[in-house]
Structure 1
Amino acid sequence: MTAVSHHDDAGLPIRLLHDRVLVQLEGNEGERRSTAGIVIPATASMGRRLSWASAVGVGPNVRSIVVGDRVLFDPDDRSEVELHGRGYVMLRERDVHAVAAARVEPDSTGLYL
């Protein structure tokens, strides 16, 4: 059996172990804008809000996530790490709630037949 090539940690100064996923947060975790354009400050109290991030490295036992996937996770259950001056979040695969689906092609019907 050959090694799976989706565990490509090229460029990372670390080698991830077990079921670990290294992600980089998308956007700013501070204030946000609603769809209507209203600014929501970072201190606003709301229910638990999940965050999106991009997977930049995965361990050898990760089965459902590949480098480049957008993942959804709970920002309260995270461990932060700094590598080469950039901030990342280290997660276990089980802490990832979802992986973003690929978009439907522009000229397709969007139906699964």
Structure 2
Amino acid sequence: MTDTQTSDGLPIRLLHDRVLVQLEGNEGERRSAAGIVIPATASIAQRLSWATAVAVGPNVRAVATGDRVLFDPDERSEVELHGREYIMLRERDVHAVAAKRVEPDSTGLYL
């Protein structure tokens, strides 16, 4: 590992409460549950986006590398590293972290 490259292969070291994420899939068209194609221009309400956290700063408490996070795409800063597009967020801009799925052979959750 060199001074300019972190252990996860990115040429960047995040500071404070920053979260570096990579978008999942395409931001443009999407499909409804019934299979209807909805164009990107047909937005009725503000839509949040899912992304995967690829790096987190030292003061981030609720997000870990590899977590799926939900955020508002209007509150983002884009950055390109090694030819790939990433989004830089503050931890407070992350609205939710996806829950881990229950294993298929487990008994589920007990309340």
Q: SS of the counterpart of 2:78?
A: strand
Count of residue pairs brought into register by the alignment = 106
Q: Are 1:112 and 2:110 counterparts?
A: yes
Within the candidate set 11, 14, 18, 1:13 is matched to 11
Question: How far off its partner does 1:110 sit?
Answer: 1.9
Cα-Cα RMSD: 1.2
Q: Where does 1:86-97 land on structure 2 (aligned, <5 Å)?
A: 86-97=84-95
Identity across the alignment (%): 84
Partners of 2:65 and 2:7 lie apart in 1 by 8
**SS of the residue aligned with 1:98?**
strand
TM-score normalised by length of structure 1: 0.89
Q: Which runs of 5 or more residues in structure 1 are unaligned?
A: 1-7
Q: Tell me the distance in 2 between the aligned counterparts of 1:73 and 1:21.
A: 11
Write the distance in 2 (CA, Å) between the matches of 1:28 and 1:104: 27
SS in 2 for 1:29: coil
* Gap regions ≥5 residues in structure 2: 1-5
Could you tell me how far apart the structure 2 residues matched to 1:109 and 1:10 are? 35
How many Å separate the matches in 1 of 2:53 and 2:104? 25
> Which runs of structure 1 show a deviation greater than 3 angstroms over 4 or more consecutive aligned residues?
none
CA contact (8 A) 1:24 1:88 kept: yes
Letter paired with 2:32:
S
Corresponding residue number in structure 2 for 1:22: 20
> Following TM superposition, by how much is the alpha carbon of 1:25 offset from its aligned partner in structure 2, in angstroms?
0.2
